[in-house]
Amino acid sequence: MSQCKTCRAPLTWCETVNGKKMPLDAKPIKAIQVKEGIGEVIDVYLPHWATCPGADKHRKER
């Protein structure tokens, strides 16, 4: 497991469908997924850029 260079939060990684690596918060949150009216509690990993206080430091200009 690695950690964010800015906030030192623990990270886990995934690969996107485009083949790019994406940092995720290491601890998942609980969410409810509803299919055909039936709810199920699932673990969801948030992209770390959504929770990192220093995310702007890592963004590339377009």
What is the tally of structural domains in the chain? 1
* pTM above threshold 0.85: no
Instruction: Identify the domain containing residue 16 by its residue range.
Output: 2-58
* Strands across the sheet containing 2-3: 2-3, 10-15, 21-25
Nearest partner of 43 among 59, 27, 54, judged by Cα: 27
Please write the tens of the pLDDT for every residue from 18-46. 999 999 999 999 999 999 999 999 999 99
DSSP code, position 45 = P
The pLDDT mean for the chain works out to: 92
Q: How does 10-31 read in b/e, with b if 16+ C-beta sit within 10 Å?
A: ebeeeeeeeeeeebbbbeeeee
